[in-house]
Amino acid sequence: IFFVSLGILVDVHALTFEGIIFMLVLTGVAILTKVIGCALPSRLIGMRNRDALIVGFGMSPRGEVAMIVALIGLTGGIIGQDIYAGIVFMSLLTTISTPIIYRNWLYRKG
């Protein structure tokens, strides 16, 4: 219910072309930094590449902390609705992308 209430505050009409570009870049950076930050140490402690990537992509979903900080910024007038929407959609995209990546690349049979 908490996350739904955060999502309700998103004004989708506030997302401009620049906001969409921001959201996509933010999502890419969010996934890449988690994969590098978690897969690289996993690899360094001896995990195989595939297992290290599983750890990295498993850590890539971002949700509660980013959305709470974004809500504080929005209510405090620090960020606008466009940035808030981008952060909420980034949280959604990173959460949705992980099972898709697992299914299609990391756990593919054959």
Mean pLDDT of 62-79: 90
> For residues 10 and 72, what is the distance between their CA atoms, to the nearest angstrom?
14
Total domain count, the chain: 1
Integer angstrom CA distances of residue 14 from 17, 73, 80: 10, 16, 9
Tens of pLDDT, residues 12-41: 888 889 989 999 999 999 999 999 999 999
Q: Is residue 22 part of a domain?
A: yes
Q: Residue 108: left if φ>0, alpha if ψ -120 to 50, beta else—which one?
A: beta
Distance of alpha carbon 97 from its chain centroid, rounded? 8
Indicate whether 110 pLDDT > 60.
no
The pTM of the whole model exceeds 0.75 = yes
pLDDT above 70 for 109: no
> Is residue 6, in this structure, part of any structural domain at all?
no
Q: Please give the Cα distance from 34 to 94 (Å, whole number).
A: 10
The verdict on residue 2 lying in a domain is no
CA 87, chain centre distance (Å): 8
Is position 29 within any domain?
Answer: yes
Domain that holds residue 30: 15-106
Domain membership flag for residue 1: no
